[in-house]
Amino acid sequence: MKRFGYLFLLGIFIQTHVAAQIQEPEDVAMESNEFRNHFYESLKQKGIENYDKAVSALQRCQKLEPNNPVVFFELGKNYLAQKDYKKAYENFEQVTKLDPKNKWAWVGMYDVCYETKDYNQAIIIVKKLIEFKNEYKEDLTSLYMNTQQFDKALVLINELNETVGSNDLRDNYKAAIMKDPKFQGSEISNLLDKIKLNPKDEANYVTLMFLYWDSNQDAKALEIAQRLEKEIPGSDWAQISLFKYHLTKADGTKAVKAMNQILASKKVDNKIRHRVMNEFLLFAKDKPEFDADLQKAISFFENDREVRVAKEIAKFYHSKKNWDQAIRYYEQHLKSEPGDMEAIMLVLDAYSQKPDYVILGERAEGLVESYPLQPQFYYYAGLAYNQQKNFKKAKDLLEIGVDYVVDDKSLETNFYIQLGEAFNGLGDQKKKQEYFVKAEKLMEKKK
């Protein structure tokens, strides 16, 4: 939930306010030196976080001026710092009774509600704060979500989307609300009315299409896409629904055509372009005839710094244990990002799973030269050379690499197993047994 942190600024405001008032005694309530001395003592004690003494000083002020809102406000701040929420709220509330237009006191009450997670009371306070600053409607939206008043949240989200534009937080809230079918009907009606009122506004068509897709009403989504294309010929947004329609009909050729227009579009945001890409990947994963189209699709994301598409595709194939495709896309990604350590580790794992020990050995040993303190590279090199029966080379690399292992029992265990294999290949049964025993002890500790 968004929260407006004014409390630090308030300290400065109050001190400045009090100082200004002292310069003009006819305008202030602080008429006595005694009051001023106690008040400044409270500010000093609060500044060094000695809140008990600050409260005592303020209580002396209060005896001199029982209805001074500044004193109540400072008491509220000190009690809040002490986490005495009941007293903090009471003092902030007293300020609002004496001075209803004191926004900072309402903020103090809101802070108390926020800290105590009293969201229902916070709603009452925030509605008052909206009178001072419209931005508090964002807070009210979050409060409605926290109290599961989704109908009110939806109304406010739509209002804010209309007046200030959408944002990611509200988009996420709305998506969560729309998962409940009881809210979909009213939202569909709302969007249809908007389309009728302004048939050239693409955004309403798009929102409605996604709403239909998410509720598995693909035919209606297609109908809206066709209406959009009729109103705005060549609309990139219309292609999104057509793309999905062609996929459901397993018409890959038409889906590719629609996808390419979407991916080339400067209107369609990256979130949707990535979604389209992922859906095509799921469709094409077992269809090698679309490999060239997949490659072309990746090219649209070459300058995307947020998501490295080739790497994500590689990870997708990795999860499916399609090692050839995983390796292909990891290597493609590493051409442009050679220092991506996660991708390096994953491609080595893919080579070991395939298995292709020749390339694994070459790649891992090359990486040892570039990153001499990374134990994983020594391990993969040792594994590869053991499998190629080059036990001497495996032993040498593994003995160096195991010294770099820190707080990774699993990797250390694997090193000992491979060292045991290497010494077994070299005919040293004593060393073989020594390392296998070490591996067994570590495995016992993990249980």
The pLDDT confidence band at residue 86, using thresholds 50, 70 and 90, is very high
Residue 276: Cβ within 10 Å count: 22
Whether the CA torsion 161, 167, 173, 176 is positive or negative: it is positive
Greater model confidence, 142 or 201 = 142
Looking at per-residue confidence, does 299 or 117 come out higher? 117
Average pLDDT of the chain to the nearest whole number: 84
Provide the Cα torsion 292, 297, 300, 305; round to 10°: -110
Dist. CA 150–CA 146, nearest whole Å = 9
Residues 6+ apart with CB under 8 A from 158: 190
Give whole-number Cα distances, 152 to 186, 285, 301, 436, 442, in Å: 13, 43, 39, 65, 57
Residue type, 321: K
Residue that the structure tokens 């050839």 belong to: 324
Place of tokens 């045991």: 420
User: For residue 365, what are the CA distances in angstroms to 63, 74, 346?
Assistant: 80, 67, 16
pLDDT in tens, 409-442: 889 898 989 998 999 898 988 888 988 888 888 8
CB 119 within 8 Å of CB 146? yes
**CB contact at 8 A, 102 and 73:** yes
Least confident of 28-32, 203-207, 371-375: 28-32
Q: In Å, what is the CA distance from 199 to each residue of 192, 193, 196, 262, 437? A: 10, 10, 6, 21, 75
Query: Residue 233: is its pLDDT beyond 80?
Result: yes
Tens-digit pLDDT profile for residues 187-221: 888 889 889 988 988 878 888 887 787 777 878 88
**Domains identified in the chain and CATH numbers:** 1-116 (1.25.40.10)
Residue bearing tokens 């969560």: 176
Judge contact between 88 and 112, C-beta under 8 A. Answer: yes
**In terms of Cα–Cα distance, which of 195, 248, 255, 194 is closest to 217?**
248
What is the pLDDT, as a whole number, of residue 303? 66
Q: Is residue 232 helix, strand or coil? A: coil
Q: Does residue 32 come out as left (phi exceeding 0), alpha (psi in the -120 to 50 range) or beta?
A: beta
Q: Could you give the CA distance from residue 313 to residue 298 in angstroms, rounded to a whole number?
A: 9
3: amino acid identity, one letter: R
Q: Give per-residue pLDDT as tens, 151-182.
A: 899 889 988 988 888 888 988 888 888 777 77
The Cα–Cα gap between 296 and 400 comes to 43
pTM as predicted = 0.50
Are residues 174 and 182 in contact, defined by beta-carbon separation less than 8 angstroms?
no
Residues 6+ apart with CB under 8 A from 267: 202, 236, 237
Question: For the segment 257-298, what is each residue's pLDDT rounded down to a tens digit?
Answer: 888 888 888 777 777 787 888 888 888 877 888 888 887 887
Among residues 174, 234, 173, the alpha carbon closest in space to that of 208 is found at 174
